[in-house]
Amino acid sequence: MSPVTGIGVRNDFSEFLEQNLNKELLRFTTAGSVDDGKSTLIGRLLHDSKTVYEDQLASVKKSRANRSTGPIDFSLITDGLRAEREQGITIDVGYRYFTTARRKFIIADTPGHEQYTRNMATGASTADLAVILVDATKGLLPQTLRHTYISSLLRIPTLVAAINKMDLLDYQERKFRELERDFLALAESLGIKAVTCIPISALAGDNVVERSVRMPWYTGPAVLEHLERVPIARPVSTLGVRFPVQYVLRPDANFRGFAGQLAGGVIRPGDAVTALPSGQTSRVHSIVTYDGALPEASSPMSVTLTLEDEIDLSRGDMLVSSANLPHASQRFLSTVVWMHAQSLEVGRSYVIKHCARQVRGRATVIRHRVNINTLEPEAAESLHMNDIAAIELETSGPLFFDSYERNRTTGSFIFIDPLTNATVAAGMIRENLSEKSRISAKEQILHSQTPITPLERHQRHGHYPAIILVNARASLAGRLERALFEGGFEAIVVRENSSIPTTKHVWRGLHAAGFVVIYHNPSLSAEERLDLQSAATHYFVDLAEVELPVADAEAVERIFTLVEPLRIPPRQGKSKRVN
Amino acid sequence: MATVPQTLSSTTELQSGQDLPIQVGGGSRLNHLKTLEAESIFILREAAAEFSRPVMLYSIGKDSSVMLRLAQKAFFPGRIPFPLLHIDTNYKFPEMIEFRDQYPKQIDAELLVHKNQEALNAGANPFVLGTQKCCGLLKTKSLLDALVEGGFNAAFGGARRDEEKSRAKERIYSFRDLHGQWDPKNQRPELWNIFNSKIDKGESIRIFPLSNWTELDVWMYIYTENIPIVPLYFAKERQAVVRDGTIVLVYPLDQLHPGEKAQPIRCRMRSLGCVPCTGAIRSDADTVPKIIEEMISFRRSERENRAIDHDEEGSMEIKKREGYF
């Protein structure tokens, strides 16, 4: 299969367009030590897939800093900054693009020097695959271990080890097999399963785009061939919907839509969703896009959702499947990569940005730092540039997350220094450290420290509480209870019972719970009556003081009209359908 | 391609906390354009939500047209919640100005136009000043002034990383200091799709929603989305001169060099800039598919016809450090 983009021979152009629209996107990162030939490999991928344009090549050829001894120094194609060309090194993450007949590729080209670990983590954060360069003449170096470790840390699902400079070893199979064995063992020890080793010469072009005739003993694919065919395993493993709300769209009074990018799962109109942190539930009414309403949306689509009910939801909140909730917690264990010259101070407050949410957070404990050369844990009191560590974090408000292993979007966050505004670290959540390992929305409510206000209770009942004294006509109590109950009131009769002389606590409790208490006590003292009267926060009536019709039914009807004004009208817009 | 059927993703039968299988190929059903679109919309929304005063740099070109459509999509059914800003050098093609004055209005977007009137009054033009100085005054200075005057702390730009090699190193959120300058060696790390929008007063962020798009992606998107573009992109017979191997369209604003004579040439613009500094290419491509077809057979990059990039090795980086988009 030719990797060349385009129509080549003039076949049907619409066929080409069709094919081009069916391409997938594969993001990969490259890592290698200084002089491993990484830039040369990328340059060759770009060049040999015919996407390096002539004039770019021409400008490389005339460049003053051309340090090539061969015909073209491909590394000059990728090293874009003046300092890089002058010093002959790659400083910063550079992004490169090329396309073949099967896929569009985005390369995050990251520097291999020790002091730039943060750049490797940056490039790895969005990668589906990593190409790790190994200089066959030098074998596996400490840097190889580091790059492979960072790849595993950032959960890049697929690795390619490009065993380079095979030309300098006369294309011998023995050396390649040795390195392959060592690399597979390394990857396995880090829990990476999808690994492919390919013997190449980036400089000579062996096994980069075309399979090499100089290594007939190797029967696997060339690098580009592999990149085109390897399954894209996206580590989005929570199957529940994760929809961080980015923006609330309210173009007019009739429309309230929640805009965001699905960070996990598949969503359809009618699906039950829970809003975090409120815990309120609703159903998806519609999936709105510029191109029309959709019957379904999946990660990573950017859409706008409308809900059946008007619930509390704004930027920074998250809509999730009611049947599959994320963790909601303010304490968690995470792996961090420290990226700034100013070191981490335990206990200091940082801004944590997680999905669309910003909270304050502080490290409470550094459990250990990872020795990047041995991968052994070691004690640390603070973290410096390029340190990788396991730390315990506490945030000012809850985050709604999955472990990074399960979801790279809801499991990742950054640290921002509140004084300098610098991004100082990247974090990957490992586990929830709150008492319960996984808190459902229901449980979250059980754990809530917020006291319930009387008004909340009254709104739930739909009316304010009252105390009705019925000593004069005891026969009315039961009828009244039934009538009020049927009329939508929470009403209950409390009768003085000499065997349990605790009635005061009972009516007080029921009144505080928001009930309409119908109180009957034939031996009520004046003091007690005053007590009742002053306890009633909204309405107190002694039926002995009301002129009532003789017939019980009519009397009940009359009392009902007295209670009627206690009703709380339903909140505007509550359960109103949102278009 | 191994994919688990999407039906497996249904959440209805899953219990909270249960160990779930790895979802292989999740989202990979989106083709690359839809994946890019989703990412760009995410970026637009994120910035619109986090900055108090964003603005979209509108250059009228094809990339701006794509960015504008993405903004329409991001905030649909609402209006685009920020204004568009065109830095008018006074040397833009008349067809661009005509398009600029019509299209944003048509889609109900707010448009601001800014000129460095002071420099223009003083007679700034590329023939006398040279492209470097002229760009510095009429584009970079004008842009920085417009941002300050409007109190804008975030500006969207349609630049793509595949355009030029210093752009390949630029973040999606590109931090600019008090003077609007870029420090390539001291950029904020940018991981996943988590963007740091924290700035102090006077500082700003340039935001590039099209960072990961290529020229081919842009044209494919214009084609599939049927996005209106300036007619100069389509081939037609136009009055032009050939100057140092470049086809320069002849407009009243331009000055013919001694001995030059305008002639009709069937040509089109591959990218749009200022009349005196942007060359046309010979072409028969008068439809978007034809442009795409032609582009794929090209072996020359699109900015080649832009004098500004070729003044000096790394000239784009220098301009960007000074505040150029």
Identify which of B25, B37, B45 has the shortest CB distance to residue A247: B45
- A448 pLDDT more than 70: no
CATH hierarchy code of domain A242-321: 2.40.30.10
Q: What are phi and psi of A153, to 5 degrees?
A: -65, -45
Closest CA to A178 of A192, A167, A163, A189: A163
Strand partners, A284: A307
**Interface A-B: count of C-beta contacts within 8 A:** 263
What residue ranges of chain A are covered by domains with CATH 3.40.50.300?
A: 13-229, 454-566
Residues B150 and B239 in one domain: no
Work out the minimum CA distance from A238 to partner chain B, whole angstroms.
7
- A18 pLDDT more than 90: no
Number of domains in chain B: 2
CB contact under 8 A, A25 and B15: no
- A444 pLDDT more than 60: no
Mean pLDDT is lowest, of A165-169, A570-574, B114-118, B255-259, for A570-574
Judge whether B19 lies within some domain: no
Percent of chain B residues topping a pLDDT of 70: 81
Work out the minimum CA distance from B118 to partner chain A, whole angstroms.
33
- A58 pLDDT more than 50: no
- A87 pLDDT more than 80: no
Judge whether B254 lies within some domain: yes
Judge whether B8 lies within some domain: no
pLDDT tens-digit readout, A216-267: 999 999 999 999 999 887 645 457 899 999 999 999 989 999 999 999 999 9
Residues B211 and B233 in one domain: no
Band (B216; pLDDT cuts 50, 70, 90):
confident
Contacts of A93 in chain B (CB under 8 A): 169
Work out the minimum CA distance from B322 to partner chain A, whole angstroms.
15
**Looking at residue B316, what is its pLDDT?**
62
Residues B166 and B261 in one domain: no
Segment A360-375 mean pLDDT: 91
Region of A91 please: left (phi>0), alpha (psi -120 to 50) or beta: alpha
Work out the minimum CA distance from A92 to partner chain B, whole angstroms.
6
CB contact under 8 A, A83 and B32: no
Residue carrying the six token digits 């013919």:
B256
CATH hierarchy code of domain A327-436: 2.40.30.10
Residues B246 and B163 in one domain: no
CB contact under 8 A, B314 and A315: no
Q: Which residue has the higher pLDDT, A375 or B68?
A: B68
CB contact under 8 A, A323 and B297: no
Outline where chain B has alpha helix (H): 32-50, 62-75, 94-106, 117-121, 126-135, 142-150, 215-225, 288-297, 315-322
**Looking at residue A5, what is its pLDDT?**
39
Give A424's contacts (C-beta < 8 A, 6+ positions apart).
A338, A339, A340, A342, A344, A350, A415, A416, A417
**Looking at residue A50, what is its pLDDT?**
59
- Find the residue in B nearest to A300 (Cα): B27
**What is the ipTM, given to two decimal places?**
0.83
Residues B37 and B110 in one domain: yes
Work out the minimum CA distance from A213 to partner chain B, whole angstroms.
28
Q: Which residue has the higher pLDDT, A99 or B13?
A: A99
Contacts of A97 in chain B (CB under 8 A): 161-162, 212, 214
CB contact under 8 A, B191 and A416: no
- Find the residue in A nearest to B161 (Cα): A95
**Looking at residue A84, what is its pLDDT?**
58
Picking from B4, B11, B24 by the largest number of A CB atoms within 10 A of its own CB, the best residue to mutate is: B11
CB contact under 8 A, A324 and B16: yes
- A518 pLDDT more than 90: yes
**Looking at residue A434, what is its pLDDT?**
85
Picking from B45, B297, B303 by the largest number of A CB atoms within 10 A of its own CB, the best residue to mutate is: B45
Work out the minimum CA distance from B51 to partner chain A, whole angstroms.
12
Residues B121 and B176 in one domain: yes
Segment B101-114 mean pLDDT: 96
Judge whether B5 lies within some domain: no
- Alpha-carbon distance of B125 to B91, in angstroms, equals 8
Residue carrying the six token digits 């695959």:
A129
Judge whether B123 lies within some domain: yes
Contacts of A416 in chain B (CB under 8 A): 196, 198
- B44 pLDDT more than 70: yes
Judge whether B15 lies within some domain: no
User: CATH homologous superfamily for A454-566?
Assistant: P-loop containing nucleotide triphosphate hydrolases (3.40.50.300)
Residue A127 near residue A156, CB atoms below 8 Å: yes
Residues B58 and B94 in one domain: yes
Judge whether B152 lies within some domain: yes
A13-229: what CATH class? alpha beta
Closest CA to A228 of A28, A58, A389, A371: A28
- A349 pLDDT more than 80: yes
Residues B204 and B233 in one domain: no
pLDDT tens-digit readout, A22-50: 888 999 999 887 677 887 888 888 876 65
Residues B173 and B247 in one domain: no
pLDDT tens-digit readout, A264-298: 999 999 999 999 999 999 999 999 999 999 999 99
pLDDT tens-digit readout, B20-35: 333 333 344 688 999 9
Band (A113; pLDDT cuts 50, 70, 90):
low
- Find the residue in A nearest to B320 (Cα): A81
Q: What is the CATH number of the domain that holds B112?
A: 3.40.50.620
Identify which of A25, A236, A422 has the shortest CB distance to residue B23: A236
Residues B151 and B283 in one domain: no
CB contact under 8 A, A23 and B167: no
Residue A202 near residue A246, CB atoms below 8 Å: no
Picking from B12, B14, B23 by the largest number of A CB atoms within 10 A of its own CB, the best residue to mutate is: B23
Range of the domain at B282: 228-310
What residue ranges of chain A are covered by domains with CATH 2.40.30.10?
A: 242-321, 327-436
CB contact under 8 A, A126 and B193: yes
Judge whether B146 lies within some domain: yes
Identify which of A55, A97, A271 has the shortest CB distance to residue B304: A55
Identify which of A265, A300, A426 has the shortest CB distance to residue B35: A300
Contacts of B224 in chain A (CB under 8 A): 21
Peptide bond into A277 cis (omega under 30): yes
Give B70's contacts (C-beta < 8 A, 6+ positions apart).
B37, B40, B41, B44, B209, B210
- B267 pLDDT more than 70: yes
Segment B221-236 mean pLDDT: 95
- Alpha-carbon distance of A332 to A572, in angstroms, equals 39
- Average pLDDT value for chain A: 83
Work out the minimum CA distance from B119 to partner chain A, whole angstroms.
30
Question: Which amino acid is it at A123?
Answer: G
Residues B212 and B239 in one domain: no
